Amino acid sequence: MKSFQKYIFPALYGLLVYFTIRLLHDTDVGEHFWERRFYINAVEMTCTIMVGYIAIYLFERLFKYYDKHWPVQLSYRGVVRELVILVGANLVLVNVIFVPMDMALHLGVWKPWWISWGDVADINMIPTLYAIVYYGIARSSTWLRAYVDNKVQLEKVTNDHLETELKFLKAQYHPHFLFNALNTIYFQMDEDIDGAKNSIEKFSELLRYQLYDQQQQVPVINELEYLQSFIDLQKIRSTDKLKLEVTFDKALNSQMVYPLLFLPFVENAFKFIGGDYKMTITAQLSGDNIVFTVENSMPQIKHTIAKSGGIGLENLRRRLDLLYPGKHTMLTNAGNDKFTAELTLHYE
């Protein structure tokens, strides 16, 4: 294949240019190729074959120059710049060889040293068109590779950015969680030392879970067990008036989800609960979806932050957009006396 490209293809390229010019010219002036003098055809074919070898060699040298001096980046400006140089070099080549050849072969046939504008147009336009076609074919693999590299690089930059943002969003949960847990243990220390020790143990388990790689999915049962431990820890510092109902569907087991997506709902509910102090937490499987709902009563004097859900739920919205684009629904509603938040995840 390399031998064909190096030794045979340039000759065929030159002959293709020649016969195209010949066809257009003969059609225009009413001549016949086979009626012309043999030596004229022989000289013209020899010159076009020579132009073919020089042109292909010149094109390949230009391609190496492009790759060496300009980074391979797919852009209209880069393509136009390369084409202008290649077409310019090709025009110089064909005019240096074809114009003197045509003038010499027809010396005395028409006027001395005279060449028609039709011949000039054919000599310049046909080789230029074939040069552009050759450029498109020869450089297609290079531009395709540049396109793929650009896409890969763009995806890498995007993924790096998203990963950084996810880590930042995850880090925002930890101070809030640490503050709540330590505050709970602080109040226990004065009244129930054994209870404080038990809380510290639960707290260490929760913290250990949060230290895992939060960009990797986990079975939903692990997340629900984590939430149950968190709820138990929060109940310690809650008022005796708290009426809590927790229902986790037993069908939720090995379905894979990203961790710590349910936690902000529960945190928010414990933070803003009031009024009748009723709270309901449910998780159920619905087809290919996991539906997680938290409902809590609110005090008569409503906090503005309770209506929007606060920073925790806004943080969660952004994480969901990054982790489950187009595969989740998050709804919040602040009624007269209760706040409801529902998250639906398509886990497959």
Per-residue pLDDT of the chain (348 residues; tens, 9 = 90+): 677 777 888 889 988 988 888 788 777 666 666 666 777 778 888 888 898 999 999 998 988 888 888 766 667 787 888 889 999 999 999 888 888 887 777 665 544 455 677 777 888 888 999 999 988 888 888 878 777 777 776 676 566 556 655 555 555 555 666 776 777 777 777 777 887 788 787 777 777 776 654 557 889 999 999 898 888 888 877 778 889 999 999 999 999 998 888 988 998 898 888 888 999 999 999 999 999 999 999 886 655 444 445 566 777 888 888 788 889 999 998 877 889 999 999 986
* Closest by CA position to 244, among listed 221, 262, 223, 266: 266
Buried b (16+ CB within 10 A) or exposed e, 209-246: bbeeebeeebebebbbebbebbbebbebbeeeeeebeb
Q: Give the count of domains, the chain.
A: 2
Residue 27 in domain: yes
User: Are 148 and 197 part of one and the same domain?
Assistant: no
Q: Give the Cβ contact number of residue 264 at 10 Å.
A: 24
User: Are 244 and 135 part of one and the same domain?
Assistant: no
* Closest by CA position to 251, among listed 288, 209, 293: 288
Residue 201 in domain: yes
User: Are 25 and 99 part of one and the same domain?
Assistant: yes
CA distances from 247 to 41, 109, 280, 294, 298 (A): 93, 103, 8, 10, 21
Residue 186 in domain: no
Q: Which residues, at least 6 apart from 261, have a Cβ–Cβ distance to it below 8 Å?
A: 223, 316, 319, 320, 323, 343, 345
User: Are 145 and 218 part of one and the same domain?
Assistant: no
Residue 159 in domain: no
Average pLDDT, the chain: 80
User: Are 204 and 267 part of one and the same domain?
Assistant: yes
What distance in Å separates the CA atoms of residue 276 and residue 299, rounded to the nearest whole number?
8
Residue 132 in domain: yes
What distance in Å separates the CA atoms of residue 46 and residue 32, rounded to the nearest whole number?
19
* Residue in this structure with the two tokens 């809380």, named with its chain if needed: 199
Q: What is the pLDDT of residue 306?
A: 47
Residue 327 in domain: yes
Domain end position, chosen among 105, 134, 154: 154
* Cα of 318 vs its chain's centroid, Å: 18
User: Are 134 and 6 part of one and the same domain?
Assistant: yes
**Contacts by residues 16-21 (CB-CB < 8 Å, ≥ 24 positions apart):** 16/130, 17/48, 17/51, 17/52, 17/126, 17/127, 17/130, 18/44, 18/45, 18/48, 18/49, 20/126, 20/130, 21/122, 21/123, 21/126
Q: Which residues, at least 6 apart from 263, have a Cβ–Cβ distance to it below 8 Å?
A: 173, 177, 226, 227, 230
Domain end position, chosen among 154, 177, 201: 154
What's 109's DSSP letter?
T
Q: What is the pLDDT of residue 158?
A: 65
What distance in Å separates the CA atoms of residue 276 and residue 101, rounded to the nearest whole number?
102
User: Are 147 and 196 part of one and the same domain?
Assistant: no
Token output for 21: 């010019």
User: Are 123 and 238 part of one and the same domain?
Assistant: no
3-state SS string over 248-272?
A: ECCCCCCCEECCCCCHHHHHHHHHH
Residue 7 in domain: yes
Strand order across the beta sheet in which 289-297 lies: 243-248, 278-286, 289-297, 338-346, 328-334
> Where residue 311 sits, what CATH number does that domain have?
3.30.565.10
Alpha helix positions (H), the chain: 2-3, 9-29, 38-69, 76-105, 117-189, 193-210, 220-237, 263-272, 304-308, 310-323
Residue 173 in domain: no
What spatial distance separates the first Cα and last Cα of the chain, rounded to whole Å?
48
Q: What is the pLDDT of residues 293-304, one digit of tens each?
A: 999 998 866 554
Domain end position, chosen among 103, 138, 154: 154
Main-chain phi, psi angles of 142, to 5 degrees: -65, -45
Domain enclosing residue 99, as ranges: 2-154
